[in-house]
Amino acid sequence: MSIPVAIVDYGIGNVSSIRNMFQRLGVLAEISSDPKVLSSADRLVLPGVGAFDTGVNNIRSRDLGGVIRAHALEKKRPLLGICLGMQLLFERSEEGSEPGLGLLAGAVRRFPAEPGLRVPHMGWNEIALTGAATLFRARKDDAFGELTRPLSYYFVHSYYVDPKDPTDVAATATHGVTFAAAVERGNVYGAQFHPEKSHKYGMLCLKNFSETQAC
């Protein structure tokens, strides 16, 4: 029997908080580092906090890179990267020297050193939808009826993704520079913010993700 949502446990990330948010939505989500369990999931969530190279090396040491790539590229099943997890979907980062998963083309950049610009970017920030918006699809559910636009999410990061293809950008936010707050290409999704810390705005994204289907 397949698992609706599996949260990849590679030793770095708010895995319990994400699972709890799915549970509040009535969605069965399992935390696992077992390749067999992850391979059976309908959808994968790749969370993450911390350094790029640490994330890459933890994934590699647990033999999970192939599982994640097969899920997204071969099985065409939905994959959501959150914060560092979104950055790991890309090819490389200015934060380290290890290659990323390479599921999306582009690099991860550090916020510029500008007078008065606080890094890390931490706190609530509004986003602007710019492209495909599966994660932000408005709902008529009572639980989301009072959400106003523009949407606002909770961020904690010192680096941001710079997609090679601008059509991969689903939403932007501004902190010194305008950056990709969310990405979407086919069955691959990313959120630079933390939906598990973004109250009903985050619940909206996770609920929409829980209903995505394989391509």
Question: What are the catalytic residues?
Answer: 83, 194, 196
Asked if 5 and 43 touch (Cβ cutoff 8 Å), the reply is yes
Largest CA distance in the chain: 54
- Give the dihedral sign, CA 16/17/20/22: negative
The DSSP call for residue 204 is H
Side-chain-side CA neighbours of 65 within 13 Å: the count stands at: 15
CA 149, CA 146: separation in Å to the nearest integer? 10
∠ CA 183-189-195, rounded to 5°: 90
